[in-house]
Amino acid sequence: MIPPKPPSRPEKVSLWRYLKLFRQDILSAQPAKLYRAWMAEFKTPFFRSYLVNDPELVKRVLKDRPDDFPKSDRIGAGLRPLLGNSVFLTNGETWKRQRRIIDPAFEGGRLRDTYGAMYAAGEAAVARMATNLGVQDIEPETSHAAADVIFRTLFSIPIEDETASAVFEKFRDHQRTQPILNLAAFIPGPRWMPRFFRRATKDTAADIRRLITDLTEQRMAEITAGTAPNDLATKIMTTADPETGQKFSTDEMVDQVAIFFLAGHETSASALAWTFYLLAMYPDWQDRLAAEAEVVNADFASVSKLRLCRDVFREALRLYPPVPMMVRETKCPEEMRNRKAPTGAQVVLSPWHLHRHERLWDNPDGFDPTRWATENGKECQRNAYIPFSAGPRVCTGAGFAMVEGPLLLAMLLRRFKFELTDKVPVPVAHLTVRAKDGIWLKISERDPI
């Protein structure tokens, strides 16, 4: 069996048809040739776009000269109502200052400090699932668990907290109203230009930001009073930029919490849901992981023993990267594979196509967690695997995600068995790679090993 893959569009379509397909789902709007091409150029009346799969070009953009390829505001225009001026959208000195304040909270030693909160969220996920067995959509379950991890590690509150629960509900509404790109992605213009967001998109973003503001202001007061818990929010809010001595204001922190929730909740939920589906497709792997999961406990050191869980989770991130495309922009004219890219051209890096590239990977569409021990797998992991981006702009929470994912996977697999139903999920891109009509699995208690 081959894991589900969205259909590709016909080779040639009109610009209007392409824009319509793109707005609905960026994955099925692309032609099949992108799984073999090193680079593809796309022209519109408004801009030029270059989708890059050549590992050397990917390296140039992300690692060698990242300052010459800043993030494109074509993506920011669509996400700004929720994310404001967060580290996900900024460039240059603003971005560097934000990372200097944020990065210390996610350094290696801090993972040990957050592990207890992760483990508690895993126990809560097991308890919830035990009361809701049978055939169900696994995506809401993984969303709930991932959101719980974020609130426990960031603000030391469980998802059941009134404000946390409200943020979770509003975010679920928001991500279904928000296409990954809106009209501003196709028509250039200044920041003040109307962006034509759906009313529900603007309303849910405003509701989420208001709730996050309440949490942030409460934490500011606790820090001032000396009663704040030692969690990620406290660490970030008390860290001063080593170059300027400045800390985040409340408004700045609201922007960062919004992206932490998006990146730490939505992406993890997507990756976990697809991992469970893959394991339902390959029950022999599921049984192997369930056996390995017996070693995990509340001791952080036990996570290091989840080698198979990590390999399976890594493979799920290859096949279903939560963020399917990343957009950069040229600051000056560039030559890429003997083509001239003008200043302001859009450079698209597509983990979705790079991770399945037929000229790079062995068995690119197949599920094979053993590939990471092969020469091809090791080479591709170095040069063609970017689920968390790469270079200076690599996701600051990448290490966090690679503890959280295998941990939740292990805790749920050692208690439950996941089986396929007659519903085959179709991957689509909303804010992340989700399934068009959910990922439906049969969940039952696992027989004791």
Q: What is the pLDDT of residue 101?
A: 96
314 with 308: CB under 8 angstroms?
Answer: no
According to DSSP, the β-strands at 48-52 and 346-349 are parallel
Q: What is the pLDDT of residue 194?
A: 45
Q: What is the pLDDT of residue 46?
A: 72
Q: What is the pLDDT of residue 26?
A: 82
What is the DSSP secondary-structure string of 240-274? PPTTT-----HHHHHHHHHHHHIIIIIHHHHHHHH
CA 323 distance to own-chain centroid: 5
What is the DSSP secondary-structure string of 315-331? HHHHHS-SS--EEEE-S
- Using a 10 angstrom Cβ sphere, with 0-12 exposed, 13-18 middle and 19 or more buried, the burial of residue 73 is middle
Q: What is the pLDDT of residue 192?
A: 46
β-partners of residue 137 are 440
Q: Which residues of 74-91 are buried (b: 16+ CB within 10 A; e: fewer)?
A: bbbbbbbbbbbbbbbbbb
For the chain, what is the largest distance between any 2 Cα atoms, rounded to a whole number of angstroms?
63
User: d(Cα 379, Cα 384) in Å, to the nearest integer?
Assistant: 8
Sequence-distant (6+) residues with CB within 8 A of 137 are: 438, 439, 440
Q: Give first-to-last CA distance, the chain, whole Å.
A: 27
Q: What is the pLDDT of residue 75?
A: 67
What is the DSSP secondary-structure string of 142-158? HHHHHHHHHHHHHHS--
* Tokens representing residue 26 in the block: 């960026």
Which H helix or E strand runs over 232?
helix 232-237
Q: What is the pLDDT of residue 183?
A: 45
Entry field: residues in the chain: 449
User: d(Cα 309, Cα 317) in Å, to the nearest integer?
Assistant: 12
Q: What is the pLDDT of residue 197?
A: 59
Taking each helix axis as running N to C, give the angle between helix 250-261 and helix 138-155, from 0 to 180 degrees, rounded to the nearest 10.
150
Query: Could you give all domains of the chain from N- to C-terminal order, each with its CATH number?
Result: 74-327+394-445 (1.10.630.10)
- Using a 10 angstrom Cβ sphere, with 0-12 exposed, 13-18 middle and 19 or more buried, the burial of residue 116 is middle
428 with 435: CB under 8 angstroms?
Answer: yes
Residue type, 369: P
pLDDT one digit per residue (tens) for the chain, 449 residues: 899 999 888 777 776 777 777 777 788 888 899 999 999 998 877 778 999 999 999 999 999 999 999 998 766 667 788 888 999 889 999 999 999 999 999 887 778 899 999 999 999 999 999 999 999 999 999 999 999 999 999 999 999 889 889 988 888 777 666 554 444 554 555 544 444 556 777 788 888 899 999 999 999 999 999 999 999 999 999 999 999 999 999 999 999 999 888 888 889 999 999 999 999 999 999 999 999 999 999 999 999 999 999 999 999 999 999 999 999 999 999 999 999 999 999 999 999 999 999 999 999 999 999 999 999 999 999 999 999 999 999 999 999 999 999 999 999 999 999 999 999 999 998 778 999 999 999 999 998 75
Backbone φ and ψ for 367, nearest 5 degrees, come out as -90, 115
CA 39 distance to own-chain centroid: 24
Residue corresponding to tokens 């894991």: 3
pTM recorded for the entire structure: 0.92
347 with 52: CB under 8 angstroms?
Answer: yes
Residue corresponding to tokens 């668990």: 145
Q: Helix, strand, coil % (nearest 5) of the chain?
A: 55, 10, 35
Q: Strand, coil or helix: what is 392?
A: helix
